Amino acid sequence: MTTTLPSQVLPSQVGPPTFTLSPLGPESNDAEIIALPVIPDEDELVIGPGAADLGDRYDLLGHLEFEGATGSAGEVTTYPVTGSGPLRQILLIGVGAQRRDDFRRAGAALARAVRDRSEVVTTIPAVDPEVGLEPFVAGATLGSFLFHWRSEGAPWTPVETITLADLGDDQAAALDRAQAIARAGWRARFFASVPSNLKNPAWLAEQATSLAAETGLKVTVWDEDQLAADGFGGIVGVGQGSATPPRLIRLDYTPRRSGRLGSSKKTPTVVLVGKGITFDTGGLNIKPGDGMVTMKRDMTGGAVVLAVMTALAEVGCPVKVVGLIAAAENAISGSALRPGDVITHYGGRTSEVTNTDAEGRLVLGDAMAYAADKIKPAALVDVATLTGAMRVALGQTMAGFFADDDALAGLLAEASEVSGETLWRMPLVADYEEKLASKVADADNAPGGPGALTAALFLQHFTGGIPWAHIDIACGDAYADVHELTPGPTGFGARVLLSWLAGDDPLAGVR
């Protein structure tokens, strides 16, 4: 047995804002900050819901000047309020054309404008609750995200409570769902942000076990000995050079009997597979220094799967879901995987390792083969920070995905539109299959360009013919405040997968 590093504890971490519902009435007199939407309307700007109420109680609206404001999504105009009451500030925040993206950006702008404050009351989602509530909550939550490990505390803190006023009909259930999706994005970002001197495969398995207990999931963890005994050669091989041995984490979700899929239907199963490389040096094919700095987030796929699994009950997912996280550290040592080594995956397929920095597909292949053999799901989706080639193709704000089933691809594309995490379908071209050829094994793990496509073709051999999609979240980092993202690992994928799995029939039309 390899000795693991001593456990460490993060300092107290800030959490996401809490959202509450309240009518904009006399109780709002206690608010220090009220945020109102600004709506462009032809050649003028209109202050949205709540303005009339405030105008009755404060001599304000006649004094508000827009000072060049356009009402574009996320634009903030700040007005101080003087007087004897508690109200100290009114924020006018643009909602643009009132699309989902506009509400998301308005939420993020609000979050940044009220940092270090305890509460804000807003009517922004009330402009169109059906369209605006969920994206506003996501924007305000993720725009508040902060990770720190400073001895003297955080440089700023997120607003503690955001009160949503004047939403009309009872929106409690919709708000609960919106918060579950947004907090899953926060959780994925958090795990991807934890430094790798704490975050190793065993630590990740401990976190999964604890969260499973909180959320009613069944959990199974393979240690390095069990992985070797069961033939997970990819996970074992990638992790063999590290002082912290690999793990395979399985989480099982079973829905409550709700009848959403119809009483005559047997509840189908979806498998999610996440790449959980808790640090990636590149192995003996070592990365350049600049390329290694962000590699604590090379387990973002695993973080996304963990975050999604813990939110499924809250969003009412109607199908069974199994989450598999293939966790390893790709390190350099005398026992590390070498270029030219041949590994045997779960199920017997072999790979020649011509580049140890193409390790993600090796661990994913094991987990996918296990899913096809033991779980036999109706659909299989893997999510991974897999190739720099995808980042070159699509940049930092969207992810590419491949799918061998058009219905599954369509469902993911629809979820992308709803969630705001943009997916772009890439072609799965069989003509490049010959590039995988190896003289000594079933496949070469680094066959070269087109890199994202050949990586997908490599993984397709482990699907067992099950309808499958591969999401390459190479857009794993944000380098500045951009809409709902703050600098750091993005946690991309949690919202789009939950939007898909929370649908009435997540497998509609899948063969």
Q: What are the residue numbers of the active site?
A: 287, 361
User: What are the b/e assignments for 246-278, b being 16+ CB within 10 Å?
Assistant: bbbbbbbbbbeeeebbeeeeeebbbbbbbbbbb
The sheet with strand 350-352 has its strands ordered as: 342-344, 350-352, 443-444
CA 230-234-236 angle, 5° bins: 65
Q: How far apart (Å, rounded) are the C-alpha atoms in residues 309 and 221?
A: 15
Classify 284 in phi/psi space as left (phi over 0), alpha (psi -120 to 50) or beta: alpha
Residue 275's identity, in one-letter code, is K
Contact 39, 45 (CB under 8 A): yes
Cα torsion 352, 353, 355, 356 to 10°: value is 170
Q: What would the two tokens of residue 467 be?
A: 């309808």
Coil/strand/helix, residue 246: coil
Rounded distance, CA 386 to CA 473, Å? Answer: 7
Identify which of 425, 227, 244, 418 has the alpha carbon closest to the alpha carbon of residue 326: 227
| Rounded CA separation 136/77 (Å) | 18
Per DSSP, what are the bridge partners of residue 51? none
Cα 425 from Cα 377, distance rounded (Å): 22
335 strand-pairing partners: none
Q: Give the separation between CA 320 and CA 305, rounded to whole angstroms.
A: 14
58 burial type by CB count under 10 A (0-12 exposed, 13-18 middle, 19+ buried):
middle
On whether the CB atoms of residues 246 and 235 are closer than 8 A, the answer is yes
Write down the number of H helices and E strands in the chain: 14, 20
Count of CB atoms situated within 10 Å of the CB of 284:
19
Non-local CB neighbours of 59 within 8 Å, separated by 6+ positions: none
How many residues in total does the chain contain? Answer: 511
